[in-house]
Structure 1
Amino acid sequence: EDAYFQFRVLRLQERLMPGDSMRLHFSVRNRPNTLFSRNSGVLRNGTYLRQDIFPRLGYIQGSASASPADSTSRQRHYQSRDADLIRFEAIIGTAGDQIAIAPGQLKRSWQARGRRYFHYKMDREIKFAFGIHSARFAVRRDTLGPVALEIYHHPGHEYKLGEMMAGLKAALAYNAQNFGSYQHHEARIIEFPQTEGTFATTSGNCIPMSEVRFIAHAGAGGEKTDLAFYTPAHEITHQWWGNQLMPADAPGAVMLTESIAEYVTLQVFRRHYGDAQALRFLGLQRQRYLKGRTSEQDEEPPLVRVGTEQSYIAYGKGALAFNALSHFAGETQINEILEGLLNEYRFRG
């Protein structure tokens, strides 16, 4: 046992054979936050726990050492560390006045001894990337065909819910029309406190999103990108580019996820806001790329070899490059090529 690195070596009494399984029981105790030390995402109202709280098996290798020539890197997808895909099911207990949320369909909810319980189960395998939420949420609901749409938000943060729902619907429709069906029955946006970050991500059929995206002002006269529309559109697009298509754990992986997701989001953005706003969006991506490359300490790789940490290339340069391809070859032609790629490798992570 290494207490400093929190690493333990366990020896099983019986070998675990290929295709076999075993149960692992563990408990996690919360350490309260203080004025000078923040240790936990467990809050009185707005808990957000990610897969990091679970024990991980094996040695976590840095992505910088991955190589396309490494045969083992081609045997796992770009976000797999100790599991390619998992079957996810969770029963969550929380305070009696809160709603608990996790990936999956809500199978059952009940109350017992003053607490509320929620049973979620995914209808298909997902990546080992998920979040567990609990808060006194208000809920905005809608539908798009057979897909139930939900936004769980802090009461009083209703400013941008219309734009969020519009971005979610527009991207779902565009991706389904061009690249195939959405693989889940629900799509949920879930607000989490800024104390956990300012990001948004995709986990199962959920889109955890920082509260800053719920209250951000788009700018007078539309001078800034409307994050309330853009963020759900980008994240739901990852259901196709990053979840249906899962590239190998090697350089260039995020070109097939982030770059394509930015390109698709741009097309959705253009249809909703017009060419002028789309050009402004591209201008911000150009600025992101040029600013990022000034601080690059290593030689800048081409887009097809971009590293997972080089977001200025994956997002900035990637959006510009795919937009240029679409401009010269045509949006329809590019989308047909992308659809062919997805059809060949769909769910083969």
Structure 2
Amino acid sequence: MQNNPGTYAPFGILSARYKSSSATVTLPDGRPLDVSIFYHATNDLNLAHFDSVLQDGLQYYSRNFGPYPFPRLTLMETPVYGPFSVAMQGEIGLIENIGGWNADLRGNSKADYPYYNAAVVLAGQWWGQQLAPNNAKSSPVITKGLAVYSALQLLRQYHGKDAVTPFLEDLQRTYGWGHRTDFDGEHDLLHANKPHLWEAKAPLLLYNLAEHIGADSVNAALRDFLQQWKFRSDSPYAGVADLYKCLQKHTPGYAKDYLKNAWETSTPLSELKPPVSSLNLTKKQALCRDRGP
């Protein structure tokens, strides 16, 4: 146990008549890590999906955001009456029904939502369990938005761009509904105050930014952010403005206006103009020159 846990809870307990499976994963830094899955005996249909996402996520998140620091990792099934997800240091939980423990994924058109759901919860081991944000209204952009973005990139890395499409569409629907029913007026992301901004607009904007400047650049910004603010034992804690500064640092000049409009204004997603890289601009200018006036 920690002597001064502050905002970082030292451990959690879930109790049930679980069955379990376990494996040892070698992390990118060479350390072996014990990984376990605890589940209800009859809910074992998608254990391979969960085993895959834990191994993939530990590799991808560690390489891109920073080493996994805890001595073990355990995924636990939680009951249908909740909570939907649980995240403690080295421990994550996912609900029985919509978590996808027994989802029938036969057929090429089925989105692998057990993999995606677990990827989001696993990302919380970086965004929440290593970095605890301040108590501002916008802080879930860090704990929720970054976890969803991370899961999208993980899914794309191991299953391809098409596998991400249904989850992007779902996030767009979530944002669209929230935007249309936000009768108080939508806030900018630096002052985000509602779930459709934290959990949908923020990850969509990060994913779109990665499409324009490269996922490596966005991930490098998030890595810098994490390294600056992780495991704080006293204030100040990280806020969305600190995240934004790291993104500004890693965003090239041609995309600065896009980043500013995306984060500093309440411009709806559909109205944001994508950046034009200097390379693409040069090609367009050359094409116009070749065609003549």
Contact 2:80 2:96 (8 Å CA) reproduced? yes
- Residue 341 (structure 1) shift: 1.4
1:205 maps to amino acid: G
User: 1:222 and 1:186, CA in 2 relative to 1: closer, same or farther beyond 3 A?
Assistant: farther
Match of 1:215 among 88, 102, 107: 102
- The one of 145, 150, 161 equivalent to 1:259 is 145
Structure 1 Cα separation of the partners of residues 144 and 199 of structure 2: 6
Distance 1:87 1:290 in 2: 43
Other-structure match for 2:8 = 127
Give the AA of the match of 2:174.
Answer: R
- C-alpha distance 288-130 of structure 1, shift in aligned 2 (>3 A): farther
Aligned residue identity for 2:2: R
> Which is richer in strand?
1
Does structure 2 conserve the Cα–Cα contact (< 8 Å) formed by 1:140 and 1:151? Answer: yes
Between the aligned partners of 2:82 and 2:171, the Cα distance in structure 1 is 25
1:132-179 per-residue CA deviation (whole Å, 9 max, x = no partner) reads: 222221101112111111110111111011101111111111111012
Whichever residue aligns with residue 154 of structure 1, its letter is H
- Indicate if the aligned counterparts of 2:9 and 2:89 stay in contact, CA closer than 8 A: no
1:1-349 correspondence to structure 2 within 5 Å: 87=2, 127-128=8-9, 131-145=12-26, 146-197=32-83, 199-212=84-97, 213=99, 214-218=101-105, 220-224=107-111, 226-307=112-193, 310-348=194-232, 349=237
Would you say the 8 A contact 2:78–2:93 is kept in 1? yes
- Could you report, residue by residue, the CA deviation over 1:215-258 in whole angstroms, capped at 9, with x for unpaired residues? 2334742343x221112211111111112222211132111221
Q: Which has the higher helix share?
A: 2
Which is greater in Rg?
1
Measured after TM superposition, the shift of residue 129 of structure 1 is 8.2
Q: For 1:201, what is the secondary structure of its paired residue?
A: strand
Contact 1:131 1:208 (C-alpha < 8 Å) held by counterparts: no
Q: Which runs of 5+ in 2 are unaligned?
A: 27-31, 238-293
- Tell me which residue corresponds to 1:105: none
Does structure 2 retain, via aligned residues, the 8 Å contact 1:129–1:203? yes
How many Å separate the matches in 2 of 1:275 and 1:196?
Answer: 32
Q: Please report how far the alpha carbon of residue 87 of structure 1 lies from its aligned counterpart in structure 2 after TM superposition.
A: 2.6
Distance 1:333 1:202 in 2: 27
2: CA distance between counterparts of 1:306 and 1:296?
12
**Counterparts of 1:296 and 1:143, CA distance in 2:** 47
**CA, structure 1 residues 129+195, in 2 after alignment: closer, same or farther (shift >3 Å)?**
farther
**Equivalent AA in structure 2 for residue 341 of structure 1:** F
**Alpha-carbon deviation of 1:192?**
2.0
Find the residue that maps to 2:88 and give its secondary structure: coil
The total of aligned residue pairs comes to 225
> For 1:215, what is the secondary structure of its paired residue?
coil
Aligned to 1:35: none
Identity among equivalent positions (%) equals: 26
Distance verdict in 2 for CA 1:126–1:155, change over 3 Å: farther
- Tell me by how many angstroms 1:182 deviates: 0.7
Deviation of 1:195 after TM superposition, in Å, equals 2.4
Q: Distance in 1 between matches of 2:198 and 2:106?
A: 26
Give the secondary-structure state (helix, strand or coil) at the position aligned to 1:325: helix
The letter for the 1-side match of 2:86 is T
Query: Post-superposition shift, 1:339?
Result: 1.2
Q: 1:320 to 1:329 in 2, by over 3 A?
A: same
Which amino acid in structure 2 is aligned with residue 139 of structure 1? S
The answer to which of 227-236 and 153-162 deviates more is: 227-236
Of 182-191 and 287-296, the range deviating more from structure 2: 287-296
Shift in Å at residue 130 of structure 1?
5.7
TM-score, structure 1 length as denominator? 0.60
- State how far apart, in whole Å, the 2-side matches of 1:156 and 1:295 are: 41
| Residue 127 (structure 1) shift | 2.2
